[in-house]
Homo-oligomer: A and B are copies of this chain.
């Protein structure tokens, strides 16, 4: 229709830098493309170039607002570069490293965003022999170069600093399993904030909670039993653990924030739903997802060899679960 060979069209549409095309020819092609509503056939392009122009993202739980934020970002980052995002749900309970193979070996994806890493060793081995680039998102692992994370350490530190600024000194931490990178970082941030403020670390104030509401509830009970009211604030490793703790405190008749201030990690709409609305630490999850997708595409297309990045930004969103320590109105006064 434009009176040119399809190869010329291909070069023009592909943005071939070496192509030296007459303006008039370009116009004719553009008009024909518009008139025909021409869209390149991705399958043919994939076959020819041996690339799928899709990324895969593995996630353990779609419910978790942390992952939905990451996905939202990743989808944007992919779309910006003309890629699609393919989700691969990987049950945290039964993680199966063959999922990677399915996606890659069928040439369905050119690279993987990995947010899951239970059985770290097995999965890393599977990923490495994969022959496709991958980047860890919100995770770090030994021997893996490509990794983008948020500032778990700084976020935890900021949370605890906020509590300290409110006058709290007896600050407990509902921690995560130390085998997890994020949990370790947050514990370190907690300790760093205490140390900088000259507050001695009391190991009894750190209780491990898993990532369920029940875990948070149990941990909060342990805290109340063993610490005999000698704490006025709690920094919880996740929002879910914080919610569980809130329930345990309510059950014991404590008022939040009058008796105990509570802060959780990761902001989301759910924080507004809790009672009281939960003060949280917000980190740029969506931005991280977007960036990770962009960086992975850079690696795929050879513009970059590796990527390590930490998004340092943290922000404490104060809601009604935290309040300044006031004598007579909290646990400290009662001991």
Contact = CB atoms under 8 A, between A and B. Distances in A.
Interface string A32-53: 0000010111111011001010
A97 interface: no
Quick one: which of A39, A40, A46, A213 has the most chain B CB within 10 A?
A46
Nearest to A75: B89
Contacts of A269: 63, 213, 240
Interface of A: 37, 39-44, 46-47, 50, 52, 54, 62-63, 65, 68-69, 71-72, 75-76, 84-89, 103, 105-108, 213, 240, 243-244, 246-247, 250, 268-270, 272-275, 277
Contacts of A63: 65, 68-69, 268-269
Nearest to A44: B47
Q: How many copies does the complex hold?
A: 2
A84 B99 CA distance: 12
Contacts of A69: 62-63
A37 B153 CA distance: 43
A50 B44 CA distance: 10
Given A107-B41, A272-B213, A68 B62 contact: yes
A84 B108 contact: yes
Contacts of A42: 46, 52, 106-108
Contacts of A47: 41, 43-44, 46-47
B46 A72 contact: no
A62 B76 CA distance: 13
B108 A87 contact: no
A277 B240 CA distance: 13
A44 B47 CA distance: 5
A89 B72 contact: yes
A81 to B, nearest CB: 13
A244 B87 CA distance: 32
Given A54-B108, A85-B87, A240-B269, 19 more contacts: A41-B106, A42-B106, A43-B43, A44-B47, A62-B68, A62-B69, A63-B68, A63-B269, A68-B68, A75-B88, A84-B103, A84-B108, A86-B86, A240-B273, A247-B277, A250-B275, A273-B273, A274-B275, A275-B275
